[in-house]
Structure formats: C-alpha cells, structure tokens
C-alpha cells in the first residue's frame, strides 16, 4: 500500500520509530506532507517531502493517508482525502465535533473507503486481556472503577498555536486522556452520565490542564476519572482500576501497558504471576507500542480490499460525545446525559 502521512509534528516522530523498530508489512511511505519546510532530521526523506498536499497526491497517488495534523483540522483533511477516493486513518480524535464524524463515516461507508481512528491502547496486551476477562465475567459484577492520567506537559508544549486551544484541541481531556476515556468506555461502557469539573492549575493554555469527573455507565456502574498535565517533573502513570464482586484488577504503567495488580477468586498466585508477565509490556513513553498492531491490521485488510475499520466511526463518535458532554458539564455545573446534541465550546470557539 502506498502511504501518505499528513503532518510531521510530535506524533510523527513516534510513527518513524514504529516503522523503524517493527516489520510493518505492505507499507510503502511515498509522501510526507507538512506546511513547514523540511528540517535537518528529515533530510533523508527529502525526495518524498512535500509542503503542498495536492502536489503530493498528483505525484505519488497514495492508497492510504494517515492524518497527524492538529485535531481541529482533522475534519477538513479527512473530508478532502475521502472525496479524493483515498482511505483515511486518523490520529485521535476523528474530529472535535461528533456530527462531523457521523457525516464522514456515512460517506466513507457509501464509497467503500476506510475511515478509522487510532485508539491504539485498545490493542495493548494488558487491555485485550482485560476485555476478555470482562467478557468471560471473571471479575463478576463490576462495582466501581477509577481512571487516573497523571502526565507532564510544560507550558512550552502549548506554544505552537493549537495545543490547548478550544478551537483546535481542548485540554488534557481531549488531547491526552481521550485514549483512557475511550478505553474505559470500551471496557465497561457505554458511559451514560457525568458531572465534571476542570481547572487550569499550572500550565498556560486556553483550556484545562486538570479535570475530574464522576461517570455513570448505562447499567449503573459509577466511577471516577482524573487527568492532569501538571504532574512534575515527568509522566507518572496512566491507569484503570476495576473493582468486581470476584476480585479486582489494575492496569497501569505510563501507557496502560502493565497488569499492575490482579486478584481473582479461584486463581492461584502462580497463575496470577504468569498473567501479569504475559500481558505486560515495557514502553518508552505514553504512546505505547500498539501503533504497530494497528498499522499491520489496517494494511492487511486493505491489501485484501477490505475497508472494515478496527474501531469504527460510530464508536469514535460516541467517545467524542462523552468528551463534549464532560466539557458541557464543566460549563453548566450539572449532571449531563451523554447525547449527540451536547455541544461545548470545544471545536467551536
């Protein structure tokens, strides 16, 4: 598959790391597109580096475009590429506004094109194990849960003109903790209600660097969700804790990459030790390692002319509805039910 990557910023470096470290089959990088002029670190890609998207499309004719541009531009870039008949894989979020996800998802389905989002944590060993555990009801009835994302970003991170702005990004919830919100909703959702508070505690940005939420699922499980980028001096943890009637489980590490702690009725300590070892991974940073799994699965499907998404626009849309509802709750200081019509200032201001 001929692949074009649109956007050569922060996450692009992680993609280069993944491509270098892992054997990504059926992947031919034919174009890198960014409005900024090429820098020294990318000189070896000079022949395939473009500052104009149309020029890149004409000269390289890609089968797949991976979108790594600012969040507030995902809708415009995805729409443009889909209209050109090109499959699209987009970093989170698909768009900031849920109705735009529905619009493009329906169009892609009609045209038999891939339109998918990168929620790579769903493919972590730790989370796939947890999902299977829940499907088999090994924890029994889930009583409560907690999610904590304590990461570090300094104010310099927000000085690029889009990070931390309401129009193009949002704060810690929309930029960093969206992965963990998606994960808990995927594991035990759908999340149905929320009461949330946000503040800008330390960093200088338009949106929040700290948020705390009470979440309730459709079947009545209540839990908490905390996230901040004001942890110092570095990222501390990203974890999900599930408390069930038959035991408990904690998925932790800096990228939901470890089975930190697990106790299940009827399972021996030796078996627990094996479970933790088998389903944990060492990672360099919060991106984790599962981008490689996502890319291999997507490319394998496209080679077979299958455009079925791994996540799907409906699931991505619901995650974005939860985000909009959380922000709506921080604005009106009320419990809010998750629904499509909830519109906060995210993506609008």
Domain shared by 196 and 325, yes or no: yes
Domain shared by 29 and 169, yes or no: no
pLDDT tens for each residue of the chain, 349 residues long: 999 999 999 999 999 999 999 989 999 999 999 999 999 999 999 999 999 999 999 999 999 999 999 999 999 999 999 999 999 999 999 999 999 999 999 999 999 999 999 999 999 999 999 999 999 999 999 999 999 999 999 999 999 999 999 999 999 999 999 999 999 999 999 999 999 999 999 999 999 999 999 999 999 999 999 999 999 999 999 999 999 999 999 999 999 999 999 999 999 999 999 999 999 999 999 999 999 999 999 999 999 999 999 999 999 999 999 999 999 999 999 999 999 998 999 998 6
**What pLDDT, on the 0 to 100 scale, is given for residue 85?**
98
Domain shared by 113 and 142, yes or no: no
| Number of CB atoms found within 10 A of residue 345's CB | 16
Domain CATH code at residue 274: 3.30.360.10
Query: What tens digit of pLDDT does each residue of 172-222 get?
Result: 999 999 999 999 999 999 999 999 999 999 999 999 999 999 999 999 999
Last residue of a domain, one of 119, 152, 171: 119
Domain shared by 115 and 127, yes or no: no
Is residue 174 within 8 A of residue 323, CB to CB? The reply is yes
Residue 342 lies in a domain: no
Domain shared by 128 and 175, yes or no: yes
**What pLDDT, on the 0 to 100 scale, is given for residue 167?**
97
Domain shared by 67 and 114, yes or no: yes
Domain shared by 101 and 162, yes or no: no
pTM equals 0.96
**What pLDDT, on the 0 to 100 scale, is given for residue 120?**
98
Residue 337 lies in a domain: no
13 Cβ contact list (under 8 Å, min separation 6): none
- The total of structural domains in the chain comes to 2
Write down the residue that tokens 């979020």 correspond to: 93
**What pLDDT, on the 0 to 100 scale, is given for residue 349?**
64
**What pLDDT, on the 0 to 100 scale, is given for residue 129?**
98
Domain of 85 in residue numbering reads as 2-119
Domain shared by 173 and 249, yes or no: yes
């Amino acid at each position: 598959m001929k692949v074009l990557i649109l956007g050569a910023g922060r996450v692009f470096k992680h993609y280069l790391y993944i491509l270098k470290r892992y054997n990504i089959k059926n992947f031919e990088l034919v174009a890198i597109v960014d409005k900024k002029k090429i820098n020294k670190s990318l000189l070896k890609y000079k022949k395939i580096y473009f500052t104009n998207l149309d020029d890149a499309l004409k000269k390289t004719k890609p089968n797949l475009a991976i979108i790594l541009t600012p969040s507030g531009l995902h809708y415009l870039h995805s729409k443009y590429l889909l209209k050109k008949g090109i499959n699209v894989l987009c970093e989170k979020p698909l768009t900031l506004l849920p109705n735009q996800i529905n619009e493009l998802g329906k169009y892609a389905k009609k045209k038999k094109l891939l339109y998918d989002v990168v929620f790579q944590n769903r493919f972590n060993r730790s989370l796939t194990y947890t999902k299977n555990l829940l499907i088999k009801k090994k924890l029994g009835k889930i009583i409560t849960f907690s999610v904590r994302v304590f990461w570090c970003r300094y104010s310099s991170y927000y000085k690029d003109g889009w990070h931390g702005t309401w129009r193009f990004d949002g704060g810690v919830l929309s930029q960093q903790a969206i992965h963990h919100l998606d994960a808990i909703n995927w594991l035990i959702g759908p999340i149905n209600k929320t009461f949330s508070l946000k503040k800008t505690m330390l960093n200088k940005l338009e949106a929040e660097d700290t948020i705390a939420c009470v979440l309730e699922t459709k079947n009545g499980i209540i839990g908490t969700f905390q996230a901040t980028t004001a942890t110092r001096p570095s990222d501390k943890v990203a974890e999900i804790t599930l408390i069930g009637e038959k035991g408990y489980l904690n998925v932790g590490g800096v990228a939901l990459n470890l089975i930190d702690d697990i106790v299940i009725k009827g399972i021996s300590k030796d078996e627990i030790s094996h479970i933790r070892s088998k389903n944990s991974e060492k990672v360099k940073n919060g991106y984790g390692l599962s981008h490689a799994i996502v890319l291999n699965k997507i490319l394998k499907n496209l080679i077979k002319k299958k455009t079925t998404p791994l996540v799907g626009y409906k699931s991505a849309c619901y995650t974005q509805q939860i985000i909009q509802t959380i922000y709506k709750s921080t604005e009106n200081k009320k419990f809010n039910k998750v629904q499509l019509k909830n519109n906060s200032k995210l993506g609008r201001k």
